[in-house]
Amino acid sequence: MRRTKIVATLGPATDTPETLTKVLQYVDVVRINFSHGDPEEHQARVEAVRKTATEIGRFVAVLGDLQGPKIRVARFANGPIDLAVGDKFTLNVTLDRNAGDQRQVGVDYPELADDVEPGDILLLDDGRLQLKVDEIAKPEVRCTVTVGGKLSNNKGINKQGGGLSAAALTDKDKKDLKTAIALKMDYLAVSFPRTGDDMREARALLGEEGKEIGLIAKVERAESVANQELMDDMILSCEGVMVARGDLGVEIGDAQLIGVQKKLIQRARSLNKVVITATQMMESMISSPLPTRAEVFDVANAVLDGTDAVMLSAETAVGQFPLETVQAMDRLCRGAEQERVAQQSNHRIHENFGHINEAVALSAMYAANHLDGVKAIICMTRTGLTPLLMSRIRSGMPIYAFSSQPLTQHRVALYRGVTTVPFSTSSTSPEAIQNAVNELKKRGAVKEGDNVIVTRGDQSGTHTMTIVRI
């Protein structure tokens, strides 16, 4: 059983029923990218996923991903230009959107001249080109090219070290929030939040209608990881975080990104939140049926660090080998999970617990890791909180979330090591444990002589742990 979850972005490459059916055999969460397509397109894909997942007997969660305030250059009148080191180049916020040339280009962010000062470094096209700001002469930002290359239409702009003041939620994002609610998405990712306040604003905008949507903060601004207090506030403001390594790496630099990724995964797990590792994980497979060795180790390191999920973007949305990509990701995750370090944990071993359900959840996991003969954990749950707490512990033990709640059945699809089992019997009834064990026996997950740990409770929460010998 693979413990690390796979998130795959949908797109033209997965639109045929045959491909979608095969891909969903390996995928736990599908991503709907609001940067592309319209509401009708998104609806068609979500409906296709839910129909197909039901047909093949899988629970697949739906994650919407807001576009956010991506700051971009405008367009060039005569196609891409080549910039050489030492060239003078101007970003002009009032220039006609289609009038870019060898000397200047428009920008779709009017506040750029207010957010930068001489000496700042601007990174274009994910850092492939770099400009040093020489002078601010509103509406112009006059620069010198320090890293040259080809620049084409609509490429992104970042400021090294962060500091661009664009609000996290644009007017387009606010419209897409309504689409996410209408489609009953399980999760919604917010792009470019600066602080936890941006996530709290998104929660407020979702309102009562969207209260059951889990929010994921895409960590991609330097400000949000400037210190542990800001990082923790971001993590605690929502249901989980995504290590969005593209823009984050551009803003803080590749060397610093290494430690930040590991810290984000560790802090998210410590604070009982889920964490997704994303961006360029298998990028070569957009056009190749096999990953590079560097990609193999990138995926493996994220798994060994304890990420809940690894994410595919263009690889499955527009790539030539979407099925081969998810199969490779599945294979690599399983391989990394066989390493002993992926099954050992000291999580909160020296801390006190503030709630009974925490004590029961973590006690169950430590018992499972140290008692010979335990083959599975059954967690009877209504909200999914107890299996979330359990999944923070590194283990090779499968956690089965027995629940009658459709929301919970899909929400736990993102939790590392957790498999949902539809279960209608009340967890307080005398027959509940036997019925749950019988279900695992029927699935071939356990057999006579095995030990199974069962946690259960009532409306007040999980408060009982039982060890059953089959």
Active-site pick, 2, 203, 218, 269? 218
Active-site pick, 279, 307, 316, 419? 279
| 333 closest CA partner among 360, 357, 297, 366 | 297
Residue 257, CA atoms < 13 Å, CB-side half-sphere: 22
Answer yes or no: 97 catalytic.
no
Please state the φ and ψ torsions of residue 257, each to the nearest 5 degrees: -60, -35
Q: Are the C-beta atoms of residues 90 and 140 closer than 8 Å to each other?
A: yes
Q: Are the C-beta atoms of residues 113 and 93 closer than 8 Å to each other?
A: yes
Active-site pick, 31, 159, 273, 394? 31
Answer yes or no: 72 catalytic.
yes
Q: Report the alpha-carbon angle 103-106-110, nearest 5.
A: 135
Active-site pick, 2, 72, 159, 456? 72
Answer yes or no: 31 catalytic.
yes
E strand spans, 321-389: 374-380
What span, in angstroms and rounded, lies between the C-alpha atoms of 383 and 233?
Answer: 23
Q: Are the C-beta atoms of residues 215 and 238 closer than 8 Å to each other?
A: yes
Q: List beta partners, residue 229.
A: none
Residues 6+ apart with CB under 8 A from 284: 291, 292, 295
Looking at residue 72, what DSSP letter applies?
Answer: B
Distances (CA, A) of 149 to 85, 98, 144, 223, 415: 9, 20, 13, 28, 42
What residues are annotated to the active site?
31, 72, 218, 279
